[in-house]
Structure 1
Amino acid sequence: MTFENKIEAAVQEMFDRISFAEQPAGLYDPLRYMIRIGGKRIRPKLCLTTYSLFCDNFSSEIEEPALGLEIFHSFTLMHDDIMDRSPLRRGRETVWKKWNEDTAILSGDAMLIEAYRRIARTPQPALPKVLDLFTDTAAQVCEGQQMDMEFESRDMVEMSEYEQMIGLKTACLLACSAEVGALVGGAGKAECDALYNYGYQLGMAFQIADDYLDAFGDEKVFGKPIGGDIINCKKSWLTVRAIEKASAKVSEKAGGKASEKASEKAGGKADKKSAETSNLLNILDSQALTDEEKTDKIARVKKIYVELGVDKDARQAIESYSEKAMESLAGLGLSHMKEEALRRFADNLIGRVK
């Protein structure tokens, strides 16, 4: 059995054994439903992977915090689906759609509590550090979600803002998962810091890859309809980069900084929201109701991405963050076999883009 198969089997066994209270069924059935519809289980797999760097065999001491991380992730999805009005999750009805919004809110709250219950079962001496790390991460995920919501009503979002948002909403939880495994495995501070950074950089690559695949992926591989972000007018790494490049393109045509200074001298700041940028924003923000309109909008936006080179930029960003993840491990003195395990984890996570 390969190392990856061993991790896969251990995670599957953990979730096969998971159970929640039976009553009231209206509260706990949605929890069972969310766990049953599955997912990639990235966070517990990463947690077990980093734990295995310091311990030869899996034990119950790592199972509970690993489960807690995935349950927390499922809680965020349950509430995200309400905010995004998403009817489907992993090809199945979302909780709010299958039951109702009130049930999804309350069952989501119960799921968050269940996540803390599992995290609190982390053995000593790792418990205090794991609990602090998890609590900080939970707050960061909420901060990222708030930023994401605020971006929806804004035309212009800087790339630095967008990457800060995905760092909070997505990368921090992968970073936490990597460090929790190390902490429970008995790693020292330098090792924990390095693995946290590995998880963070990998999380950034993962989210940009997800944004890229939403536009350019294979629906069968991606697991959900292509163009969802485009149809729902959601900000993604690609839309932010496209607007950024369209604005820069216009500035260059107008003479760059010299033109901006002249504009300011004449009594106002240079208008970043040029006609070309406005046209792009109009296309991105246009409502597509029928299937024909949706297909047309996706095609038009993808054409713009390709013309601006945004697809290539995204692939380069994914590669850059992936390289940073591996560079985080330099100096840790990991064996070749252990370093390769982390490299394969990264490749499996973002290899869908290649």
Structure 2
Amino acid sequence: MFQESVHAKAFQNYLEKADFPHTPQHLYDPIRYILSLSGKRIRPLLVLMGAELFDSSVVEQALPASAAIEFFHNFSLIHDDIMDVAPLRRGKPTVHQKWNDNVAILSGDALLIKAYQELAKCPIDKIPALLHLFNTTSLEVCEGQQFDMDFEERAQVSETAYIDMIRLKTSVLLGCALQMGAIVAGADERSQTLLYDFGVNLGIAFQLQDDILDVYGNPKSFGKQIGGDILSNKKTILFVKLQELISPTDQEELEYLLKQNIDSEPEKVDKMIGLYAKYDIQTLAIYQKEKFTTIAYEKLTEIQVEADKKEALFSLSDALMHRVQ
């Protein structure tokens, strides 16, 4: 996508000019490090695409907001990795692993402050609305993370609770990114809401797709260990749906498998996939993914701008939802 690459280049150029002092070294080096482990930078890209949807002349003015989103996202990753005791992030050592927990906590805090410094660079008349949205979303992401941790201690999690958790932990930030761009562009409130809802529903569908690919994806293209969620007993949409439908007899096997690891039960992944197949869980999960994808596309369609201006967002969405099958 030409526009996407143009926006990605503009954001990268802006990011390279970011002011991160060289001292204290252990405060700013971890920030430079986490930002160098760049993924696709979907969130800052969405800010710029959200602005362009309504007014292409203000895309440059949206760059500070896009940086704020990227800084907040990476701040949350640093802290999440500490809580998850994760050794790797995007195939590289996590910040707390490369340095230590204290360095990671403080660098994450500093990166959050840098996000607010970027917001202060936005057009002054747009700052109150941007701050309100950014603060609301930031708290929701924290709530989602807490729900995710709470689920680890719960034997049962409903589908509704799971969807709400991923909405808060992952999806609201996508909606926020798009709406921030729309705010900078001066879009009306209804258009902002539709664009936000598009991002949130797309984010939910994206996470459900990730759950499905963890079990049924191509290991060569997925980029993660197939069955990793099963081995860690993670409550995904597949697991939640299985718990809803499983018979008492199969429940005994499920409880047995949950107590095992790869050493004590080398066939744990295969046996769980067998349970999923017995209850056609993959089909049910795909249905949920497609439901939220459809809602997202309907929201984008409703926005009253020329159809050709939406093509980049539809194209990006299709790429996200049809990756590494």
TM-score range, shorter chain: over 0.9
Q: CA deviation at 1:126?
A: 1.4
Q: CA deviation at 1:175?
A: 0.8
Secondary structure of 2:300's counterpart equals coil
Q: Is 1:286–2:286 an aligned residue pair?
A: no
Residue 41 of structure 1 is matched in structure 2 by 41
Confirm or deny: 8 A CA contact 1:141 1:173 kept in the other structure.
Answer: yes
Confirm or deny: 8 A CA contact 2:262 2:268 kept in the other structure.
Answer: no
Secondary structure of 1:204's counterpart equals helix
Tell me, in whole angstroms, the C-alpha distance in 2 between the residues paired with 1:41 and 1:174. 11
Confirm or deny: 8 A CA contact 1:145 1:169 kept in the other structure.
Answer: yes
**Structure 2: 5+ residue stretches without partners:** none
Q: CA deviation at 1:8?
A: 2.7
Tell me, in whole angstroms, the C-alpha distance in 2 between the residues paired with 1:226 and 1:238. 14
Q: CA deviation at 1:205?
A: 0.6
Alignment: residue pair count: 325
Residue 234 of structure 1 is matched in structure 2 by 234
Task: Give runs of aligned pairs for residues 73-112 of structure 1, distance below 5 A.
Answer: 73-112=73-112
Tell me, in whole angstroms, the C-alpha distance in 1 between the residues paired with 2:83 and 2:165. 17
Confirm or deny: 8 A CA contact 2:140 2:169 kept in the other structure.
Answer: yes
Q: Is 1:342–2:305 an aligned residue pair?
A: no
Secondary structure of 2:322's counterpart equals helix
Secondary structure of 1:126's counterpart equals helix
Secondary structure of 1:125's counterpart equals helix
Q: Is 1:318–2:289 an aligned residue pair?
A: yes
Q: Is 1:224–2:263 an aligned residue pair?
A: no
Residue 303 of structure 2 is matched in structure 1 by 332
Tell me, in whole angstroms, the C-alpha distance in 2 between the residues paired with 1:46 and 1:342. 8
User: What percentage of residue pairs aligned between the two structures are identical?
Assistant: 41
Q: CA deviation at 1:59?
A: 4.4
Q: CA deviation at 1:275?
A: 4.2
- Please report the TM-score for the alignment, with normalisation by the length of structure 1: 0.87
Tell me, in whole angstroms, the C-alpha distance in 1 between the residues paired with 2:127 and 2:298. 28
Residue 113 of structure 1 is matched in structure 2 by 113
Q: Which deviates the most, 230-239 or 174-183?
A: 230-239
Question: Aligned in 2, Cα 1:131/1:289: closer, same or farther, shift over 3 Å?
Answer: same
Tell me, in whole angstroms, the C-alpha distance in 1 between the residues paired with 2:178 and 2:272. 36
Tell me, in whole angstroms, the C-alpha distance in 2 between the residues paired with 1:40 and 1:2. 15
Tell me, in whole angstroms, the C-alpha distance in 2 between the residues paired with 1:8 and 1:277. 48
Question: Aligned in 2, Cα 1:104/1:307: closer, same or farther, shift over 3 Å?
Answer: same
Task: Give runs of aligned pairs for residues 127-276 of structure 1, distance below 5 A.
Answer: 127-246=127-246, 250=247, 274-276=248-250
Tell me, in whole angstroms, the C-alpha distance in 1 between the residues paired with 2:319 and 2:11. 16
Aligned Cα root-mean-square deviation (Å)? 1.8
Confirm or deny: 8 A CA contact 1:75 1:108 kept in the other structure.
Answer: yes
- Please report the TM-score for the alignment, with normalisation by the length of structure 2: 0.94
Tell me, in whole angstroms, the C-alpha distance in 1 between the residues paired with 2:129 and 2:85. 36
Q: CA deviation at 1:137?
A: 0.4
Q: CA deviation at 1:279?
A: 2.6
Query: Which amino acid is 1:286 matched to?
Result: K
Q: CA deviation at 1:235?
A: 1.2
Residue 251 of structure 2 is matched in structure 1 by 277
Confirm or deny: 8 A CA contact 1:209 1:353 kept in the other structure.
Answer: no
Confirm or deny: 8 A CA contact 1:201 1:322 kept in the other structure.
Answer: yes
Q: What do the CA deviations read for 1:249-304 (whole angstroms, capped 9, x no partner)? A: x3xxxxxxxxxxxxxxxxxxxxxxx3432431331x234254x85x5222222222
Query: Which amino acid is 2:31 matched to?
Result: L
Query: Which amino acid is 1:32 matched to?
Result: R
Query: Which amino acid is 1:288 matched to?
Result: N
Residue 260 of structure 1 is matched in structure 2 by none
Q: CA deviation at 1:57?
A: 4.0
Tell me, in whole angstroms, the C-alpha distance in 2 between the residues paired with 1:301 and 1:19. 49
Query: Which amino acid is 1:106 matched to?
Result: L
**Structure 1: 5+ residue stretches without partners:** 251-273
Tell me, in whole angstroms, the C-alpha distance in 2 between the residues paired with 1:219 and 1:310. 20
Question: Aligned in 2, Cα 1:23/1:60: closer, same or farther, shift over 3 Å?
Answer: farther
Q: What do the CA deviations read for 1:176-220 (whole angstroms, capped 9, x no partner)? A: 011001001110101101101001101111111111122222334
Q: CA deviation at 1:34?
A: 0.4
Secondary structure of 1:23's counterpart equals coil
